[in-house]
Structure formats: structure tokens, C-alpha cells
């Protein structure tokens, strides 16, 4: 607990990390209504196994990423736990199908906010929206990293030149792409291992049971990828918050296929 700038601990707080690893997923919330769990989602997610980090992910069908201008005004998308002093930077959208993961293949569409703080110089990131079609990754994404993953129905594919759509009650997000220029192959040497981000560059995902989970490292050693520049077309219907996070329009971006992307266990405060 943070009181007047000092960190206070208690026996319950000391025990929290073990509890967080397996039981925190239900308490994680979001500023975006479509990312909040329904009772039906909870029933599906509760049955899934606990698969702790680290995770290794492969995407042969690819990942689309697009950049959006900083948000000024409109609905507040950062949760109150991390919103203090935040200065908005660019936002990003992602659409992907992971072909290999510890819980099997799944589709995902998500949004990411980046921001700075004048009192703590650096760049930080938070995802208030991640929808998937796998109860197993919804449970473990919440437990492991504090991502507010919720469930949706998916059609299509994120492959370049094609369309991926996520739908739920009263909302939808459709993402399609048009390639620009040529593929650029990339690889990283095996000895690289971890890319460790400094304190001033981290993901921040509040978890009521755990505090704020902060992920600062990715395992990229041996990763091979292809990258293609693209124009990304997005069509979003739903709440004001969802349309602010992933607005409709045409955005600059890219299409990436990769293997051996690793997500490690985050730190907590």
C-alpha cells in the first residue's frame, strides 16, 4: 500500500504474489466495458489450467500493428492506479493469431496506450483492451501479467491483405491491411537472450490482488521475423471507450511474422 509516498507492507501483501499467480484473474478490471468479464466468460475461464510465465509465442499467420496519434480529451482510458501525472504519447493497435503458445493457438485484438510522467521521466505502456477466443489465455494473461483479457468471437485472419474481426454483444472491431513495399527479413543472435528494459520503460497493469504488475523484459534471442510496411484499416463499433482506444480509420503500420517471442514474469510493486 502507498501512503504519503511510503510503501507499507503487511502479512497479506507478502503472501499476495503466490495468490496472484493463480487466483487474481477475476478481480482485474478495465476502463473499457468490452474488456470486462461477464458471468458467462467467468464460467469458461475458471475451467482452464494455470500456466505460469514464462511463455514462448510464435505467429506464422502474423501480427498487424498500427500507430495512432496521442489522445487528448475524451474518455479516461488509464485506470486510476497509474493515471496520476500521465502525459499521453502515441497509442497502438494489434491484431494477431498466435500459432503456437503454451495453451494452443488463439486470435487476439488489443490496444496499447503509451505515456510519460514529468515526475518520473520515461515511457510507460498500459493495455486496457485485449480480446481473445481462448479461455485458457484469458485466465493466464490476467494472472501472469495483469492483462484484462476478455472473450470474443473471431472470424477471418490477420494475414496481410486479409481481414480479422472480433465481435461481442453490441460491439465489433474489424482490422484489414494493404501491403506497402517489400518484406524485410530480420533475425537476432541466440546469445542476446533477454532484452531488459530499464525502470523508466515498462508495462504497467494494475491488479487489485497484486498491486501493479510491471513487465520490463522480453526474451528475443534467436528470434527470426519478417516485416512488411502496411496501411491498416480499422472499423470499430461499441462504447465510447472502445472507439477511443481503437478508432475507425486508416493508419500506418506493419505486418510481422515471428518465432520465439518470450514473455517473462513481471515484477510487482
Cell (9 digits) for 73: 480529451
Which is more confident, 210 or 133? 133
pLDDT, position 222: 60
pLDDT digits (tens, 9 = 90+) for 65-91: 999 998 777 789 999 999 988 999 999
pLDDT at 160: 93
pLDDT tens for 114-127 read 999 877 777 889 99
**What pTM was estimated for this model as a whole?**
0.85
- Of the spans 60-64, 81-85, 130-134, 205-209, which averages the highest pLDDT? 130-134
Q: What is the pLDDT of residue 265?
A: 63
pLDDT digits (tens, 9 = 90+) for 8-33: 222 233 333 444 556 788 889 999 99
At 183 the pLDDT is: 77
Say whether pLDDT at 195 is over 60.
no
| Model confidence pLDDT, tens digit, residues 222-252 | 667 788 999 999 999 999 999 999 999 999 9
Q: What is the pLDDT of residue 30?
A: 96
Using a pLDDT cut of 90, give the percent of the chain over it. Answer: 54
Partners of 175 in beta bridges? 164, 234
pLDDT of residue 167 exceeding 80: yes
Report pLDDT digits (tens) over 135-161: 999 999 998 889 999 999 999 999 999
- Per the CB < 8 A criterion, the answer to whether 134 and 104 are in contact is yes
Instruction: Give the model's confidence band at 7: pLDDT under 50 very low, under 70 low, under 90 confident, else very high.
Output: very low
Angle subtended by helix axes 39-46 and 135-145, to nearest 10: 90
Amino acid at each position: 500500500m502507498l501512503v504519503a509516498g511510503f510503501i507499507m507492507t503487511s502479512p497479506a501483501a507478502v503472501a499476495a504474489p503466490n495468490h496472484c499467480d493463480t487466483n487474481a484473474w477475476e478481480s482485474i478490471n478495465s476502463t473499457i466495458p468490452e474488456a470486462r468479464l461477464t458471468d458467462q466468460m467467468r464460467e469458461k475461464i475458471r475451467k482452464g489450467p494455470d500456466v505460469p510465465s514464462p511463455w514462448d509465442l510464435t505467429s506464422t499467420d502474423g501480427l498487424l500493428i498500427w500507430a495512432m496519434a496521442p489522445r487528448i480529451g475524451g474518455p479516461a482510458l488509464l485506470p486510476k492506479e497509474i493515471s496520476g501525472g500521465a502525459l499521453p504519447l502515441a497509442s497502438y493497435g494489434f491484431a494477431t493469431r498466435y500459432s503456437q503458445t503454451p495453451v494452443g493457438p488463439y486470435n487476439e485484438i488489443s490496444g496499447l496506450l503509451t505515456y510519460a510522467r514529468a515526475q518520473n521521466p520515461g515511457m510507460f505502456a498500459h493495455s486496457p483492451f485485449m480480446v481473445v477466443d481462448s479461455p485458457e489465455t484469458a485466465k493466464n494473461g490476467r494472472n501472469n501479467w495483469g492483462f484484462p483479457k476478455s472473450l470474443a468471437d473471431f472470424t477471418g485472419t490477420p494475414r496481410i491483405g486479409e481481414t480479422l474481426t472480433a465481435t461481442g454483444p453490441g460491439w465489433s472491431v474489424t482490422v484489414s491491411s494493404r501491403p506497402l513495399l517489400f518484406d524485410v527479413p530480420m533475425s537476432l543472435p541466440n546469445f542476446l537472450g533477454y532484452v531488459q528494459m530499464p525502470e523508466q520503460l515498462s508495462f504497467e497493469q494494475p491488479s487489485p490482488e497484486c498491486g501493479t504488475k510491471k513487465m520490463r523484459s522480453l526474451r528475443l534471442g534467436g528470434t527470426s521475423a519478417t516485416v512488411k510496411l502496411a496501411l491498416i484499416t480499422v472499423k470499430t463499433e461499441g462504447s465510447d471507450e472502445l472507439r477511443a482506444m481503437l478508432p475507425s480509420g486508416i493508419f500506418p503500420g506493419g505486418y510481422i511474422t515471428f518465432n520465439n517471442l518470450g514473455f517473462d514474469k513481471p515484477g510487482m510493486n
